[in-house]
Amino acid sequence: MARNVGSSATAGVTMPRQTGRYLTVLTAGFISGVLTIAMGCAFSALIFSGPLSGYVSTGVKLILFGAFVLGAVTVLTSSYAGTVARPHEIPAAVIALMAAAIAAEVPGRICVEGAFVTVVAAIAVTGCATGIFFLLLGNFKAGNLIRFVPYPVIGGFLAGTGLLMVKGAFGVMTGSALTVANITYLASPEVLVKWLPGLVFALVLILVLRWRNHYLVMPVWLVLSFALFYIALPVTGMSLGDARSQGWLIASIEGGGSGAALSLSSLAGIDWGLVASQTGRVLTVLILSSLSLLLNASGLEVIVREEIDLNRELRATGLANLIAGFGGSPVGFHSLSHSALSYSMGAKSRMVGLSSAVLCGAAVFFGSSLLSYLPRPVMGGVLLFLGVAFLREWLYDAWFRLPRVDCVLIWLILTVIGMFGFLQGVGVGMLVAIVIFVVKYSHVSVIKHRLSGVNFHSNVDRAPSQQRVLSEKGEALHILKLHGFIFFGTANDLYEEIRVRANDRSLVALRFVVLDLRLVSGVDSSAVNSFVKMKEQARSRGYQLIFAQVPEEALKSLGRGGFDLEDSRNFRIFADLDRAVEWCEDEVLVDEKMLPGGEAHRLEEEIRGFLPADSAGIAHFMDYLERREAPRGFYLIRQNDPPHSLYYLESGRATVDLENESGQSVRLRTLEPGTVIGELGLYLREPSTASVVTETESVFYRLSAEAMERMERQDPDIAAAFHRFIVRRLGERLIYTNRSLKALLD
């Protein structure tokens, strides 16, 4: 029983809340539908003007039929539940030019009825072609291209949308949009009284929502506003007829023309040649509509803070336009203002778009007498509220959360949109954003790390004497690890970096410049000139320019741009940075008469430095070792073998190879005479993690685990000296490693 009581109590609380939600959803859908009907009337008057003005009411019905199909199909297939779609003003403007061009042929070619059906045919072809184009874009995942549009450009687009709503709001309230030219007209007393109530409506709504953002605020304020309007009529002595004649109420779609309608017989009068002559404008509609749709959907993402599947939106609107196009409707897609309105009211539901579509359909099939009772100040006030909200967010709020450069760009886009139009504003914004990006990116260095032979060595284990020489001469080797995309700006900075280093007389004379391109994603053709200058500078200053691990595409770009890859004078290319640095080190050692791999290092001479001066223990120490000569390809150690011995390479050369799961061998290190091998495995008693194989005929000494244990028991002093020798070697190796790490982290 208690459970039932609890359930009843919960239901009692939930039912009013659910009822309020439904009321909000229906209110949002109703407002959207009414505004769509009003815009449909305006679009019809725009398209069917001049000789075609007698077909305005028929045009309205075609447009509202399209609004019904577009709204219903899109909202049912969209990835965002609060989507509202309708015929759009951008393609409608191009279609109006198309209709005017066709109507201009009337005097010499066809009758007015023929011109009308030809225009309708051109509209149908445009709608179907746009629908197919949207479907193709969605299927080929082209919607994600809009992700590359910079955030400030989208912000400027949304601010421009807000400006358009404000201008449209004045058009709804007064019949004349807000422009610089008609400010005086709008300020006249007889016009001021028509838009001032709408402004009060919007400001009160903004203030109330800032104080308490509740989903019932909008519908309650709308009901109160309707009531206040109809209470004010008798108070001012104005009848309903007077209010309608003076433009205080929305006009019925049944007016505005002779009411001529389409018939099957009239379709025979279509001039398909004239339709074909409008191919250029049809293509314009395709491009403008796809860009506008993606911008609207991307802007809606920003507003609702929710990811929208742009490719799914393309497919949804493509299907909707294909169906609506067969009915003679102009192109349509997401309405950013209507979708944002439902979101601001807390009505994220497919019922918003569906109820808006149903209202448009009802206006076509059952008339629109009820719509003629809607007050213009209230409808305009809704648009004004949303437009001001957009402008406040992107002109005022954005100033405190975005960089100043982005804010200036938003203001610039808004200004261009206000003066010239949406496409011009977005185009200018994109161009400026690209310039800003190039300037900013050119200040991001492509040099990830600056290294030298002092703090970076190849993966070649050399004798201590050779390592000391390489460290002393290391400043002659300048290593630059590059990353990112190299273009003219960053390439010139790279050239200047090398030029300054080559001219720095406070440092050792430059002998090698190694450019590691492993992390470079590409080289622009405009950057090749800087690389040619680097090569010429290397020739004139007498140092070697070396490229390491150059991506194939970058090599092609260099070759196509005039960089002679075959000219080996002062220029070389290596497969990776390790081999490039190894070659530089070998060149230094050759100059110092320390031939790499060609000089034997005797262990007894090295260990002597760790024994007492009067010690005669060298002979005893050598007794514990086994001297061997090995041919090329001999395995000293095999990967995963248990630890059994330590080796000292006296002459020859060996490599440390790691075998991966697929059986391929990867070179880890190269071992020169004087290096110790396998010491960590022997001391830690761990299996070998890699193989050691000779590259050339080699001579080495082997100290087995049993021999070392015997030495520790029988000659502890000699064993201690040998341990000090190993610790010294490990310490030197650690010092070199730390230097490299420090250089990479700086």
Closest to 312 (Cα-Cα) out of 78, 84, 72, 75:
78
Q: Cβ–Cβ contacts within 10 Å for residue 300, how many?
A: 23
Do residues 141 and 165 share a domain?
A: yes
Q: What is the model's pLDDT at position 733?
A: 76
- Between residues 214 and 286, the one the model is more confident about: 286
Do residues 462 and 583 share a domain?
A: yes
CA–CA separation, 413 vs 390, rounded Å? Answer: 14
Residue 243 has pLDDT above 50, yes or no: yes
Percent of the chain with pLDDT strictly greater than 70 = 87
Expressed as residue numbers, the domain containing 526 is: 447-591
Distance set, CA 546 to CA 96, 314, 481, 572, 574 (Å):
63, 50, 12, 5, 8
Mean pLDDT over the full length of the chain: 81
Do residues 576 and 607 share a domain?
A: no
CA–CA separation, 521 vs 128, rounded Å? Answer: 41
Q: What is the model's pLDDT at position 651?
A: 86
Residue 125 has pLDDT above 90, yes or no: yes
Distance set, CA 563 to CA 546, 558, 560, 575, 624 (Å):
14, 5, 7, 18, 59
Closest to 560 (Cα-Cα) out of 503, 522, 609:
522
Contact 33, 335 (CB under 8 A): no
CA 738 to chain centre: 38
CA–CA separation, 388 vs 161, rounded Å? Answer: 10
Q: What is the model's pLDDT at position 259?
A: 42
Q: Tens of pLDDT along 571-628? A: 999 988 888 998 998 888 888 887 655 555 667 667 766 776 555 677 778 888 888 8
Q: Tens of pLDDT along 676-707? A: 888 888 888 888 888 889 988 888 889 888 88
Do residues 317 and 455 share a domain?
A: no
In a domain, residue 585? The reply is yes
Q: What is the model's pLDDT at position 319?
A: 95
Amino acid at 38: A
DSSP-based helix, strand, coil % in the chain, nearest 5: 65, 10, 25
* R_g over Cα of the chain: 40
Q: Cβ–Cβ contacts within 10 Å for residue 107, how many?
A: 8
Do residues 160 and 29 share a domain?
A: yes
In a domain, residue 47? The reply is yes
Percent of the chain with pLDDT strictly greater than 90 = 14
3-state secondary structure of 543: coil
Contact 101, 70 (CB under 8 A): no
Q: Tens of pLDDT along 156-173? A: 877 887 787 788 778 778
Do residues 527 and 613 share a domain?
A: no
Query: Which of the listed residues 591, 623, 640 is the one where a domain comes to its end?
Result: 591
Q: What is the model's pLDDT at position 325?
A: 92
The position carrying tokens 């799914």 is 312
Phi-psi bin for 698: left (phi > 0), alpha (psi -120 to 50), beta?
beta
586: domain CATH number?
Answer: 3.30.750.24
Q: Tens of pLDDT along 480-499? A: 999 888 887 788 889 888 99
Taking residues 397-422, report their average pLDDT.
Answer: 87
708: domain CATH number?
Answer: 2.60.120.10
Q: Tens of pLDDT along 368-384? A: 555 567 777 887 787 78
How long is the chain? 746
Contact 743, 449 (CB under 8 A): yes
CA–CA separation, 513 vs 501, rounded Å? Answer: 10
In a domain, residue 641? The reply is yes
| pTM for the whole structure | 0.58
The dihedral formed by the CA atoms of 524, 526, 532 and 533, expressed in degrees to the nearest 10: -120
In a domain, residue 636? The reply is yes
Do residues 495 and 569 share a domain?
A: yes
Do residues 118 and 235 share a domain?
A: yes
Do residues 231 and 335 share a domain?
A: yes
In a domain, residue 596? The reply is no
On the 0-12 / 13-18 / 19+ scale of CB atoms within 10 A, 87 is buried
In a domain, residue 282? The reply is yes
Do residues 580 and 644 share a domain?
A: no
3-state secondary structure of 364: helix
The position carrying tokens 């193989």 is 691
If you ran DSSP here, which 8-state letter would residue 105 be given? T
Residue 102 has pLDDT above 90, yes or no: no
In a domain, residue 435? The reply is no
Do residues 286 and 339 share a domain?
A: yes
Q: What is the model's pLDDT at position 332?
A: 92
Query: Which of the listed residues 591, 617, 634 is the one where a domain comes to its end?
Result: 591
Q: What is the model's pLDDT at position 320?
A: 95
Phi-psi bin for 557: left (phi > 0), alpha (psi -120 to 50), beta?
alpha
Q: What secondary structure, in 3-state letters, does 432-487 show?
A: HHHHHHHHHHHCCCCEEEEEECCCCCCCEECCHHHHHHHHHCHHHEEEEEEEEEEC
In a domain, residue 442? The reply is no
Do residues 64 and 166 share a domain?
A: yes
Q: What is the model's pLDDT at position 741?
A: 67
Closest to 93 (Cα-Cα) out of 131, 166, 165, 43:
43
Number of domains comprising the chain: 3
Residue 568 has pLDDT above 50, yes or no: yes
| Dihedral sign for Cα atoms in the order 220, 223, 229, 235 | negative
3-state secondary structure of 604: helix
Query: Which of the listed residues 425, 458, 477 is the one where a domain comes to its end?
Result: 425
